[in-house]
Amino acid sequence: MTETFSARPRTIVALAVVIIAGLVAAAALWAKATRPVRETLAAYTALITAANRQDIASAESLCSDRYRGLHRLRPAAEGGIVGLPRNIHKNFQAWRQGTNVWICPTNRVGPVYQFVREQGQWRFDGPVGLLRGRNELIMMPDLTDDSPPSPASNSPQPD
């Protein structure tokens, strides 16, 4: 009887070690899976800060080469930088879209911005669409390669 009793604590300890190891592994996998979105949100926050300070040099360093090639950053008269977002709502959405990350900084309805990985950092690549109710995404005509085609681009064009 004492043999069974002494084996029981060892079994409980072994089971506890296995459970803790499983939880640590699950947390590590979760951290790895969400890392791109978390890094993108840090870049987005830095972009908002640069835009609100009207710091053109910092904002340009946070934008992709494609975006900088298409848009010249300049201060806006009302504050911020023309074409860059200036806030984020507490109920924002962020998700992976292929190799990129998309952020809807408003209360689940509003513009969606794309971030691309360039030179080891996440960079702002501009708006890609408009998120409407029931998660309906209306794509903008100026799409990047990783974006799905917009419904408008599938319709026949007049000659």
* Domains, the chain, with CATH or none: 37-153 (3.10.450)
According to the model, what pLDDT value does residue 6 have? 67
DSSP tag of 83 = T
According to the model, what pLDDT value does residue 74 have? 96
Q: Which long-range contacts (CB under 8 A, 24 or more apart) does 86-95 make?
A: 86/48, 86/51, 86/52, 87/48, 88/44, 88/45, 88/48, 93/131, 94/37, 94/40, 94/41, 95/37
Q: How much of the chain, in percent, has pLDDT values that exceed 70?
A: 85
Q: What is the Cα Rg of the chain in Å? A: 23
Tell me the whole-structure pTM to 2 decimals: 0.76
Comparison of pLDDT for 101 and 146, the residue scoring more: 101
Q: Which residues on adjacent β-strands are paired with residue 127? A: 113
Convert the pLDDT of each residue in 80-100 to its tens digit: 999 999 999 999 999 999 999
Phi then psi for residue 155, to 5 deg, are -80, 150
